């Protein structure tokens, strides 16, 4: 079925991708420097036939033994707090890491997929966001290190496609949640769930009127797999169009956990996008894909996971 190199394979999305690839009969080389990844995310895969783990920083030259059919570049800090704490690593893995992983794909004649993001749309002036929207990004704000690195990564991917003929795919990933998110990564899903489970106030930033649209991880990973196996070179949104305000989301977490914790309002971080919702008509038409897991069901699974790790 082919051999895949998955960078960031010990992260939240990377580890779910490793699982899906193994379950579909692929061999998987999981590469991660573990600055935000966690070996526990893939410890159950170690020893499984066809799986190997290499601890490595993919901003350096990558040497990979043997043939490769797929390269998926998922290594990157991915939460606003992570990119504030690791701005240079974020820029490097999106730029140098994309260059190095594209180099491997070219050398091995492998198909390449870059994990891009809804952040390329910045604080969007078009709603919902369609792939042909070029975005509204502040290059010098705190989120610029992530947004611009991913925009550069898309440009580099298209350059390798056009100039070197590498077979490439670009997925723009919208807010995704599920088991294996880091409790302290600062994103809204782990923040609210861990606060609710500890009976601490749920910290809503701003007045909570900003919107997001949350996709359960298994839906997202299936969409990415279908995109990889399709012929589509241009960027494709994968996410769930079920949009809600952050305040509504906090109330949903309160309802599902049954916590009596109050909601606390804190200042809105700089450049926090006011609205976000993917237009997924392209993925629907091209990949016959759409998300299936309802929010309450996905959140229940995520809450069950967080019950096992909160407090550790
Ligand atoms: N947010 C919040 N409280 C938190 C963490 C996040 O209200 O404790 C808000 C944040 O300001 C943003 C939304 O939730 O409007 C989603 O934030 P997240 O960090 O998950 O990712 P983003 O979509 O901004 O990349």
Given the CA of residue 208, which atom of ligand 1 is nearest to it?
7
Q: Which structure tokens are listed for 169?
A: 């795919």
Q: Which pLDDT belongs to residue 312?
A: 53
Q: Rounded to the nearest 5 degrees, what angle is found at the Cα of 300, between the Cα atoms of 298 and 306?
A: 105
Q: Which pLDDT belongs to residue 311?
A: 74
Decide if domain 3-176+216-238 falls under CATH 3.40.50.720. yes
Decide if domain 178-212+242-276+293-309 falls under CATH 3.20.20.70. no
Q: Which pLDDT belongs to residue 72?
A: 99
84 contacts: CB under 8 Å, gap ≥ 6? 142
Q: What's the whole-model pTM score?
A: 0.97
CA 94: distance to chain centroid? 13
- In tens digits, what is the pLDDT along the chain, a chain of 312 residues? 899 999 999 999 999 999 999 999 999 999 999 999 999 999 999 999 999 999 999 999 999 999 999 999 999 999 999 989 999 999 999 999 999 999 999 999 999 999 999 999 999 999 999 999 999 999 999 999 999 999 999 999 999 999 999 999 999 999 999 999 999 999 999 999 999 999 999 999 999 999 999 999 999 999 999 999 999 999 999 999 999 999 999 999 999 999 999 999 999 999 999 999 999 999 999 999 999 999 999 999 999 999 999 975
146 tagged catalytic: yes
List the domain boundaries for the chain: 3-176+216-238, 178-212+242-276+293-309
Q: Give distance in angstroms: CA of 47 to centre of ligand 1.
A: 37
Going by C-alpha positions, the residue among 75, 102, 222, 118 that lies closest to residue 169 is 102
Q: Give distance in angstroms: CA of 182 to centre of ligand 1.
A: 14
Q: Give distance in angstroms: CA of 274 to centre of ligand 1.
A: 10
Ligand 1 first shell, C-beta below 6 A: 79-80, 175, 187-188, 191, 203-205, 210, 212, 246, 268-269, 272
123 contacts: CB under 8 Å, gap ≥ 6? 136, 137, 138, 271, 272, 273, 274
Q: Give distance in angstroms: CA of 215 to centre of ligand 1.
A: 15
What is the C-alpha to C-alpha distance for residues 22 and 46, in angstroms, rounded to an integer? Answer: 12
**Which residue out of 70, 146, 160, 216 is catalytically annotated?**
146
**Which residue out of 76, 135, 188 has the highest number of ligand 1 atoms within 8 Å of its CB and is therefore the one to mutate?**
188
């Amino acid at each position: 079925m082919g051999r895949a190199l998955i960078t960031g394979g010990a992260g939240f999305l990377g580890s779910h991708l490793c699982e899906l690839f193994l379950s579909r009969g692929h061999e998987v080389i999981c590469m991660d420097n573990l600055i935000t990844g966690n070996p526990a995310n893939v410890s159950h895969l170690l020893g499984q036939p066809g799986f190997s783990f290499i601890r490595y920083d993919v901003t350096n030259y990558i040497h990979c033994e043997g043939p490769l059919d797929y390269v998926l570049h998922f290594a990157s800090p991915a939460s606003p707090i992570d990119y504030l704490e690791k701005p240079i690593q974020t820029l490097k893995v999106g730029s140098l890491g994309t260059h190095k992983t594209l180099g491997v794909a070219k050398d091995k004649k492998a198909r390449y997929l870059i994990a891009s993001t809804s952040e390329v749309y910045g604080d969007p002036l078009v709603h919902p966001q369609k792939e042909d929207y070029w975005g509204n990004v502040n290059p010098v704000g705190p989120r610029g290190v992530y947004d611009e690195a991913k925009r550069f990564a898309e440009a580099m991917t298209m350059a390798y496609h056009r100039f070197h003929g590498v077979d490439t795919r670009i997925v723009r990933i919208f807010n995704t949640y599920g088991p294996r998110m880091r409790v302290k990564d600062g994103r809204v899903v782990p923040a609210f769930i861990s606060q609710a489970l500890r009976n601490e106030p749920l910290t809503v930033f701003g007045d909570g009127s900003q919107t997001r649209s949350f996709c359960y991880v298994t839906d997202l990973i299936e969409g990415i797999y279908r995109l990889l196996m399709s012929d589509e070179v241009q960027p494709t949104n994968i996410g769930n169009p079920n949009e809600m305000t952050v305040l509504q989301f906090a109330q949903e977490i309160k309802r599902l956990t049954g916590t009596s914790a109050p909601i606390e309002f804190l200042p809105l971080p700089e450049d926090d996008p006011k609205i976000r919702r993917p237009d997924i008509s392209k993925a629907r038409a091209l990949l016959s894909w759409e998300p299936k897991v309802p929010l309450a069901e996905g959140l229940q699974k995520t809450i069950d996971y967080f019950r096992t790790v909160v407090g550790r």
